[in-house]
Structure 1
């Protein structure tokens, strides 16, 4: 039976005319709650210029694609009713003064983390894949860690920051890395060791609770899943589905390696941090650190290495052909960072760049 997959996408709320980020999440969420049949798929985020939706767990990638399109369309509708638009952008291209959301938790974060929290207006994509147990989940975490920077490069969609080109493909990853628990972590070895590490982090008093364990990939505190959190929100919804497909392939492959007694690759956290930095800097436009050799390789070669690594799992789930097509499409047109820069080069306007991204988000 195929593992289920769920996606959480954070979306930027923007003014339809100016392209500037707008602090309207409370109004959008109120409209979503009123229209919801049952529990709403939308949730608040740290800043009022963004909203998040979560899909239901799906075993079929076609079903997941339909769900992503549906909730993006709902987000567009709710935002329009509130006088705004939504854009699947991982940072605001135009200058913005972010507004912290309401609620005691967000107030605590603002006071505790200061400018780090205030400037943290970034939008990511989190992929949940079901696992049979915490032990299997931790075995997966230990075996996918070397491949996570490739997912960041694939999804990179945040070249602009406060009105200028950051010269990164994913500047969100640099901003997100300011949180004290963010980034890659060591091999855990067992579920017992994983939970001990989480308890130790919380015990320092630096983190409020388990929800603030912002590892690149972690055990979900709410669901029986592995949660991969390294990616930018993708501009094109087809890339979201490709990302989810590859994550499930990585989870399946890692679980098989664990059951076969294959140990995780022995790579230091410092090397993985460097690989993630390069992925955020280059995206798909230059070289990446190859997860096997830990040496520079052209981005297309590393993408193909990822596909080869999960090939058997994708064949078994029936996703290989679709993944190959989707990966070829990304290589041809580029990820969100390349598309944003191409729009800016064509129009000369960040406002027009946001407007075009609003249209792509709703496509």
Structure 2
């Protein structure tokens, strides 16, 4: 498995800093793999593939540390925030594809200063990958709830734990998918979407989970970037557990649950609104249930795979710590209250705790 994290570049006052290209131009090999994202106010890091959860946790911290050190050379800081707490006017990276997207998609692109966490889990081939995609959909909303880390948008509290998920849902291809059954059906669906001329290319097919175009992996894309690396590690472990459980179910002939995309979309919205602080939609019943119960059901669903990977004890500890300290969104709101409503200080505090 491997993890890609999108991170926010901020100035000393917490305002988004359009300095990504300057950071990349001066970054050194020791800073690790750093890339552009859509906006100049963002950097992306990526861990190497790893089997060990401990190695992954170390790689996540190393990636954040490298980004932090590279940004400091340009007078910027790095914060793991799903959205900027302060209002912004985003600066699109000067690459042809991004500029085409800006022209084609209007405000959807102009305001796309959002940061997600993408978890890649290896699969043996496209057939196994599609079998996994067909089976993990009901459990993706709880993953979003665990990651929620974007309660502010354009200088305002939103009432959402993940407003990033709301902004991201503007893209025409974002969201849950139907059952595909075969790789041929999956690839035909992607090709049909591109053939409409609505998106630029296959890379703009932004399903909640998809087959990676670059790696032999399933890419789970629902999460906010996590405020701290421990939550990102927990997210990755649960994602791998989901993929492994789905692959085993498929190999054993367990039928994929035929849940309509509109129900999955509703569950996803609920997770972004409530996070860990209210009810979620329980995939066992499709009725509301406390977030603690639904996340517990997720862990139970993947327990065997976690145990076989040696991850169960770590997940138990990481999840206990998350319940104790609260989600990224809850912590941001607490900082906001403690700073007398100074949203810049929320971003500064997040930068201070990048490696915590």
Q: Which range, TM-score by smaller chain?
A: over 0.9
Moved more, 345-354 or 215-224: 345-354
Whole-angstrom CA distance in 1 between matches of 2:57 and 2:23: 23
Q: Deviations over 1:47-80 (max 9, x none)?
A: 0000101111001010001100001001110111
**1: distance between equivalents of 2:170 and 2:112?**
9
Number of residues of Structure 1 aligned to a counterpart in Structure 2: 355
Report the counterpart of residue 20 of structure 1 in structure 2. Answer: 15
Aligned-partner Cα distance in 1 for 2:120–2:343: 33
Q: Which residue of 2 aligns with 1:290?
A: 282
1:271 aligns with 2:248: no
Equivalent residue for 1:321? Answer: 313
1:362 is aligned to: 355
Q: 2:146 aligns with which of 139, 148, 154?
A: 154
- 1:191 aligned partner: 183
> Within the alignment, does 1:83 sit opposite 2:75 as a pair?
yes
User: What is residue 50 of structure 1 aligned with on the other side?
Assistant: 42
* CA-CA distance at 1:30 after TM superposition: 1.1
Q: 2:252 & 2:351 partners in 1: Cα distance?
A: 46
Distance in 2 of aligned mates of 1:210 and 1:253: 28
Structure 2 stretches lacking a partner, 5+ long: none
Q: For each residue in 1:7-56, what CA deviation from the matched residue of structure 2 results, as whole angstroms up to 9, or x when unmatched?
A: 0000000002x110010000111122xx116x951110110000101111
1:166 to 150, 158, 169: 158
Does 2:254 align with 1:258? Answer: no
Correspondence for 1:6: 2
Q: Specify the alignment match of 1:144 in structure 2.
A: 136
Structural mapping, 1:122-133, within 5 Å: 122-133=114-125
CA distance in 2, matches of 1:283, 1:226: 24
Is the 8 Å Cα contact of residues 228 and 355 (structure 2) preserved in structure 1?
no
Deviation at 1:329, TM superposition (A): 0.9
Q: In structure 2, what is the equivalent of residue 106 of structure 1?
A: 98
Aligned counterpart, 2:54: 62
Q: 2 CA distance for matches of 1:29 and 1:149? A: 34
* Higher alpha-carbon deviation: 274-283 or 324-333: 324-333
Instruction: Return the TM-score normalized by structure 2.
Output: 0.98
* Alignment check: 8 A CA contact 2:32 2:66 kept: no
Structure 1 position 335 matched with structure 2 position 327? yes
Gaps of 5+ in 1: none
Q: Is the 8 A contact 2:32 2:63 kept in 1?
A: no
Q: Distance in 2 between matches of 1:354 and 1:195?
A: 40
Name the SS of the counterpart of 2:78 in structure 1: strand
Residue 327 of structure 1 deviates from its aligned partner by 0.7
Q: CA deviation at 1:176?
A: 0.2
The SS at the match of 1:208 is coil
**Counterpart position of 2:26:** 31
Give the C-alpha shift of residue 314 in structure 1: 0.5
- Residues 140-181 of structure 1, C-alpha deviation per residue, up to 9 Å, x if partnerless? 000000000000010000000011101000000000000000
* Number of the residue aligned with 1:350: 343
